[in-house]
Structure 1
Amino acid sequence: MISNNRASFFKGMLLGSISYVLITVFGKINFGQLGKVQKHEHHHLRAPAREDFFKMSPVQRMMISKSLRVYCIVLEEPMYESYYTTLKDTWTKHCDSAGFYGTKNDGLLNIETDDIWLRMKETYKYVFENYGYNYSWFFLVRPTTFAVIENLKYFLFLKNATQPFYLGHTVKSGDLEYVAMEGGIVLSMESMKRLNRVLSSDICYDQSMIWKLSGDMQLAICLKYAGVLAENAEDSEGRDIFNTETIGYLINEAISNNPGHVVESCCSDMAITFSGLIPQKMEVMMYGVYRLRAFGHHFNDTLIFLPPRGSEND
């Protein structure tokens, strides 16, 4: 009887000690300290003001617009296989070049895994090795994302791709700030270089412990270790331009919150992405963005982004 009580006592002590250690360790986890980098403060990047462009000559504007090259990366997912024909025929034609990666059917990487972070890592490695020095910006999206590339280029026009930052719609989880993949993730050329240098390091292995971390959170940990800052992208009035929701959701929200000014309060007129679209909705968006015009309304844009040579975009 005494021996049984002793055994129960020691088991209780052991379990209690283990529980204490786990609580202590996980309670002190600070994603920002994983790479021993400096403390990161949240940043907001805004689109340039229209007046900034009038200070440039037409020749300067054209030179910069031609040098601003965006490579679009669609991270494939098996359940959205039917989306790819529509994606290739719609907004991705406006990228300077676009690639579809991440499944065993992509013909390039042959990745047979459901691990989103592993697929992201292998995709970024491949893209950097093959295109890393040919483009200034790299834009990663899910198959359900619709993007207006001309608005992305407008936002990036005066940004420096040799600086280490990445941007989109930032989200905070504990001490970790990351760019949500639902809205799209943009990396500068310098960010791609730094990411490539650390992708094979221990810090970029799966950091999940008790729960599985999402791919965009894993990317943030890896980039933070490399000294790359996350930036929230906004228009000149401070409104988000990388939207992690569908346009229908945003409109319904505006109807509830500001019924007298639904159009103005719904979304920025310089929005870059909308999430959660099915192929039919992407076709509707293409018509609305690139075909529909209001008679008598004149657009006087100071910038012109020419389509890539040989492109059949709208």
Structure 2
Amino acid sequence: MTSPKNLDSRATAVRRTWARRCNKLLFSSVTNETFPTIGFELPEGRDHLTEKTIKAFKYIYEHHIDDADWFMKADDDTYVILENLRYFLSGQNSNEPIFFGQHVKTIVKQGHFSGGAGYVLSKETLRRIGAKGNDETICRQDGGAEDAEFGKCMETLGVKVGNSTNKLGRNRFHCFDPDTHLMGGYSDWYYQYDANGAKKVTYHENRSSKIFRPVLVTT
């Protein structure tokens, strides 16, 4: 997901770095003559992220469902370590109605995933969006908080929230920048809503670079 003002900066950086290792890369924004985008003519802003996300996945369903087993939504300020993502997904079944991301325990009964951390859909999940995603009684088409509204849509479609924590109970998907996740200093809301917060105490205690150095080596 990107916007016209970020095409020459953030989107270009994504295109030149981690996205080069993707099997298929698509940018969702308005039509641009010099930068390859899907070209959704939608108003910019957070109020329209829900519509932008739903339309993007519908487009992928119609044109690219046979190109991959897993489909990831990421913002233009998200950095993805593709090797780690592939390793994690190699142990998952793309024929199951499931998706993965940073689990947030708010609004939706089963929780939903933080939009900023990105989330990954199985092929079966994409099929369900393609089949019923246009139904406004199932998936809100615009407005609201994109990640929460998408989570509601997934729950209604029978798509389950997958567990993406590692064997130590630590998140693989992160909604803040590396310094915050490595050194602590989270906002109060994070402790309240992060579904795996209780399992992440050791992250927050490792505030000294000397203490944290062996953690970086061993994880």
For normalisation by structure 1, the TM-score amounts to: 0.56
Q: Judging changes above 3 Å, is the alpha-carbon distance between structure 1 residues 109 and 78 closer, same or farther for their aligned structure 2 residues?
A: closer
Structure 1 unaligned regions, length at least 5: 1-74, 270-314
Separation in 1, partners of 2:28, 2:75: 10
Residue in 1 aligned with 2:188? none
Residue in 2 aligned with 1:144? 77
Bigger relative contact order (CA 8 A; separation at least 6):
1
Alignment check: 8 A CA contact 1:251 1:266 kept: no
1:205 is aligned to 2:135: no
Structure 2 counterpart SS, 1:97: coil
Q: Judging changes above 3 Å, is the alpha-carbon distance between structure 1 residues 248 and 206 closer, same or farther for their aligned structure 2 residues?
A: same
Deviation at 1:104, TM superposition (A): 3.6
Residue 149 of structure 1 aligns with an amino acid whose one-letter code is L
Alignment check: 8 A CA contact 1:77 1:103 kept: yes
Separation in 2, partners of 1:255, 1:169: 15
Q: Judging changes above 3 Å, is the alpha-carbon distance between structure 1 residues 236 and 199 closer, same or farther for their aligned structure 2 residues?
A: same
User: Which residue of 156, 177, 180 corresponds with 2:114?
Assistant: 180
Separation in 2, partners of 1:268, 1:123: 38
Residue in 2 aligned with 1:99? 26
Structure 2 counterpart SS, 1:139: strand
Deviation at 1:236, TM superposition (A): 2.1
1:108 is aligned to 2:38: yes
Aligned-residue CA RMSD (Å)? 2.3
Residue 134 of structure 1 aligns with an amino acid whose one-letter code is D
Structure possessing the higher radius of gyration over alpha carbons? 1
Residue in 1 aligned with 2:187? none
1:1-314 superposed matches below 5 A: 75-81=1-7, 82-105=9-32, 107-114=37-44, 115-176=48-109, 177-203=111-137, 204-206=139-141, 213-253=144-184, 257-258=205-206, 259=208, 261-263=211-213, 269=219
Deviation at 1:261, TM superposition (A): 2.4
Q: Judging changes above 3 Å, is the alpha-carbon distance between structure 1 residues 240 and 200 closer, same or farther for their aligned structure 2 residues?
A: same
| Count of aligned pairs | 191
Q: Judging changes above 3 Å, is the alpha-carbon distance between structure 1 residues 168 and 256 closer, same or farther for their aligned structure 2 residues?
A: closer
Alignment check: 8 A CA contact 1:198 1:222 kept: no
Residue 250 of structure 1 aligns with an amino acid whose one-letter code is H
- Cα-to-partner distance string for 1:177-228 (whole Å, 9 max, x where unaligned): 1011111110000010011112110221348xxxx62111111111111100
Separation in 2, partners of 1:183, 1:267: 23
Relative to its length, the structure with more strand (as a share) is: 1
Provide the identity percentage: 21
- Cα-to-partner distance string for 1:112-165 (whole Å, 9 max, x where unaligned): 223111111111111111111221000110000111101001001121100000
Separation in 1, partners of 2:37, 2:69: 25
For normalisation by structure 2, the TM-score amounts to: 0.79
Structure 2 unaligned regions, length at least 5: 185-201
